[in-house]
Amino acid sequence: MTLEADAIVERRRLKRRLYFWRGITLLLAVGVAVAFGLYAGGGMSSKSAPHIARVTVSGMILSDAGQRKMLKDIASSDAVKAVIVAIDSPGGTTVGGEELYDGLRDIAAKKPVVATMGTLATSAGYMTAIATDRIFAERTSITGSIGVLFQYGNVGALMQNIGVEVKTIKSAPLKAEPSPFTYPEQPGAAAMIQRLVDDTYAWFIDIVAERRSLARPDALKLADGSVYSGRQALDLRLVDEIGGEDEAVTWLEGAKGIGKDLKVVDWAPERPYAGFGIADRAMAAAGRLIGIDLSAWNSEGRLDGLVSVWHP
């Protein structure tokens, strides 16, 4: 009799636990659904009403198909009345900076675009800023570092010392050069890369001179790789005004007639989470809602080729 009573009590405990976990699961499912609805529905409604778009450029600047599409969408959106580009980046690849520059210039042909500088807006980050109509920097923002570089290592001497030889059969002496295994360095390899760097550097100086209304010799003096504070950059005409987003919005209102009641709405590239079902997509939406980009787990950024980046 006691065993039967104990079994009944245990079954009741199991039922209570089962109901508890079912309830937790249901609440989680509802939470994810609400998050998805808020993210999808709320984002769409805020972007359909007239607003100022905020585009954030942070971290390493790389070639980005999603970002290119976003800039095209902003350019074609009648709801976007102006754009604020919030930059906090040391730079990145020259192609990534060029894509941002071209995309922002396309937008600027249709609507006002301004840039705000955070802690860093150097190299390709500065390349991004000069695509806009007006640049705002904080007094202690770090900007400049106008230039291009190409870095490579060479372990050929080390491999010779330890008795390892890499044999290469190629179509011409400069094919696949500079190589980390060629020692001494192939004649002409460094000169070839220098020509590549010089050509891109000349283009960078040209757009700095054009966008900042500087004589090319003056732009060239500023493009020795030096970095500048926001205050120094203002004196050198590399930026237009000391301030942040509030000052940018005020300028848009006064200089461009942008309505002061317009909200500033964040735009970001679409980055679909590489999941396999509805649950994965819902989790991705919920993650974006709280500021976690799950797609980043499946992406890889590489600084190959020519780069325009500054780091201490």
Q: pLDDT tens-digit profile of 155-172?
A: 888 888 898 888 889 999
Region of residue 109 (phi > 0: left; psi between -120 and 50: alpha; otherwise: beta): alpha
What is the average pLDDT across 190-199? 95
Instruction: Out of 121-125, 151-155, 182-186, 272-276, pick the least confident.
Output: 272-276
Q: Do β-strands 307-309 and 80-93 pair in parallel, antiparallel, or remain unpaired?
A: antiparallel
The set of residues, in sequence order, having a beta carbon less than 8 Å from that of 211 and lying 6+ positions away, is: 130, 131
pLDDT at 131: 98
Given the structure tokens 């199991």, which residue do they identify? 14
Q: Which long-range contacts (CB under 8 A, 24 or more apart) does 216-225 make?
A: 219/146, 222/144, 222/146, 223/146, 223/147, 224/147, 225/145, 225/146, 225/147
Token readout for 173 is 């002496």
The set of residues, in sequence order, having a beta carbon less than 8 Å from that of 182 and lying 6+ positions away, is: 154, 156, 168, 189
Distance, in Å, from the CA atom of 88 to the CA atom of 124, rounded to the nearest integer, reads 11
pTM over 0.95: no
Give the residues across from 121 on adjacent strands: 89, 143
How does residue 110 score in pLDDT terms, banded at 50, 70 and 90?
A: very high
- CATH fold of 50-147+225-277+302-312 reads 2-enoyl-CoA Hydratase; Chain A, domain 1 (3.90.226)
CB 50 within 8 A of CB 262: yes
pLDDT at residue 154 above 70? yes
Residues annotated as part of the active site: 123, 175
Domain boundaries of the chain, sorted by first residue = 50-147+225-277+302-312, 149-216
Higher pLDDT, 121 or 290: 121
Q: Give the SS3 label for residue 93.
A: strand
Distance, in Å, from the CA atom of 258 to the CA atom of 270, rounded to the nearest integer, reads 27
CB 119 within 8 A of CB 88: yes
Token readout for 233 is 């950059």
Instruction: Out of 114-118, 160-164, 264-268, 276-280, pick the least confident.
Output: 276-280
Higher pLDDT, 256 or 41: 256
